[in-house]
Structure 1
Amino acid sequence: MTAIYPSSYYAASANQQPDRPSLSSSISADVCVIGAGYTGLSTALHLAERGFSVVVLEASRIGFGASGRNGGQIVHSYSRDMDFIERHYGQKTANAMGKMAFEGGRIIRRLVDQYHIQCDLKDGGIFAACNQKQLHELEAKKALWEQHGHQQLDMLDAHQVREYVGTERYEGALLDHSGGHIHPLNLALGEATAIESLGGQIFEDSPVVDIQQGPKAVVKTANGQVTANFVMVAGNAYLTGLLPKLQQKAMPCGTQVITTAPLSPELQHQLLPKDHCVEDCNYLLDYFRLSGDGRLIYGGGVTYGAREPDKVEALIRPKMLKTFPMLKDVKIDYAWTGNFLLTLMRLPQFGRIGDNIYYAQGYSGHGVTSTHLAGELIASAIQGQAERFDVMASLPQYPFPGGRLMRIPYTAMGAFYYDMRDKLGI
């Protein structure tokens, strides 16, 4: 084993795992999955449950990318909601995607329960409004989600929200009782163990160097290969050089997270009395929650083009103190960054290459639940029930304007514009 996890609270508190080998021989399987993040793991697990033989090839370690470094929040729907989808792609598509928008969270809970995954699963999520405009938008979100069948929602006024979040920043909130939060890396590791319990094979330190298309695809690594009836490409922001046409459709972005030292039970209760997770409604949003051992995990901001910030703590600590000034003397134990994949329309990209190579990528910041939905849809498509996969695959996939050189400045300018709107409350 040569690859190691980047330093983070999640890596430091990960559940113990066996060493997994790199691929060093020629093997065969029904399906070869490239990437052991949530998309790949969910796909492999759903396929293994259906009786398929599955091999997962991971370039580094299980959950190495966004799946093991994200904010750990179970947030429903997509980065663009069903009203946007209806305006751009029609009511039929919006209705079909609306029926799937809340499924990812249910899949996570089923897997955690069925396979006894220890990942600090806790219930309850808060969308917090920083101004009246955002509060009205949350009221519209509640009506929209209820229209699509999600009924576990309550509006909170400025007084009520303080029963959930110990800050004066918010003018109200939307409480999603079916939201929640998890230790994201431990969820990925638990899903990997579940795959292996069903006969699936996982190889780490096995970057794929080539995919040979054909009736049976051949997926090659430096020291081995997998011959498979189907291939699932799930590299997302870490798909480097393998399929350039996929990479042109999306842009890696970095987000930053810090974690405090363990807090006293009294301070934990002061910050988050109900132990729910929180995200605000700004375009460049803040998000935070308590860990299983009583730390505050706080994240926010975006670096376009996946640039590594020199000092994550210097970027995020002021955001945390704006929300919770009482933490000014609390030590920060961990700070890290990780990449997610942004698409131009901020909707995930699903598709096929030829007849037997599938891909899914570009969840644009809503990956925890959408990736788990993706695994179900792809497994069903491989099994021959492709209707729901085809709904997602029908969404247009546009490259960023200006090509690789211009997509970062264009997107950064857009982010600056929306950030100013957030600050002005317009």
Structure 2
Amino acid sequence: MMARNYFYLSYGHSVRLRADDRPDSDHWAGQLFTELSAEVARLVGADRRTQVGYYDNLVQPLTDWKAALADVLSSTDVFVALYSPGYFNKSWPLRERASFASRYADPAMADHFLVPVLWVPWPPWEHETERSSALRLGSGIPEYADEGLQAMSRLALYRKQYRTVVRRLAYRIVTLAAEAPRPAPLAVAIDEVTAEPTAPTEILFTVAVLAPQRADLPGGRAEDPYGNAPRSWTPYRDLHQFPIAEYVANVAERLGQPARIVDRPADLGVLDQGAALVLIDPWLAATGDGLARLTGLAGQIPEWATVLLVADRTDPEYAARGTALHATVADTLAAAGIARNRITLLRDADRLVERMPSIIDQACTAYRRHAPVFLPKGADTPLPRIDGGPDA
């Protein structure tokens, strides 16, 4: 049974430009969560170490975010939304909000337990209802309306006003939580609700998986990391048994990119329809048709796609054969026309988790830079003449 959460903090994730980035929005949202949790714990008389709130950075790496957040949102009393332009331009935070609201048949009841915060201001003529509701929290504090709570959290000049808003927010959470229904109604899973961004900039992100399945494992390979389809592959099998393709797709969706997974050779043709990341298990090279499958990638992986070889350096079977398998895969792909500088090897789960947001962002950037532009079909229309003749 999930523990009760007084509040859930929802925000629009930032884009990472490098693997070691800690974007401002993510950092300051995390700081707000810590301070808000401490204030809520103080108001309810809980130990400061007791978890009283939740936000999605608490989900363990390589687990199913969608399933985890469905449970969390079902056990949360109050939904705190950090409104910003990025919040309304990405489907993930909007779907978090819609999932929470789905618990109540009456939309007014859902709104009652939703506390909006002006995190980053936007033009007053956009999202006027959300803006008006978010401004109430900072009544009498002009800096809140002018700068937003994120800027206030960063500037020592506004520290007193920031603390006032945080205390107000904590008090509002505790007050509403006392009114929350028991037992708590269940939330609809995030992937079962729809919420369209108001200014969509999303592109389709395809995760392709090339890995063995249990039916065709090479001799001497343990079957634990594999399932009945390549998409079931879990290279870091000690980490929650969550397939890596699902993990990558979840990260992409949190960053605002609708994602899909393909794992059949016949489906690889869709890679040219958007940004793409190809995950390859080096053990594929040791299967009966593995080299043929790798060679067959020629012409199927567009020039903007990212190729990632994934292995577990702690796997004793990989330790014995990994270097040779990696070299075989890289040589085969190079012979198929895929440049070696497009192939990255990751052998550590922590490193993969750290780098994945930037890998996804870079794949999307590469697609925008290199993807072909398709003009509308139809007959060419002659340009009008301006010489004053009969066709003018």
Indicate the TM-score class for this superposition, using the shorter chain for normalisation.
under 0.3
Q: Which structure carries more relative contact order (alpha carbon 8 Å, separation 6+)?
A: 1
Larger radius of gyration: 2
TM-score, normalised relative to structure 2: 0.26
In terms of fraction of residues, the more helix-rich structure is 2
TM-score, normalised relative to structure 1: 0.24
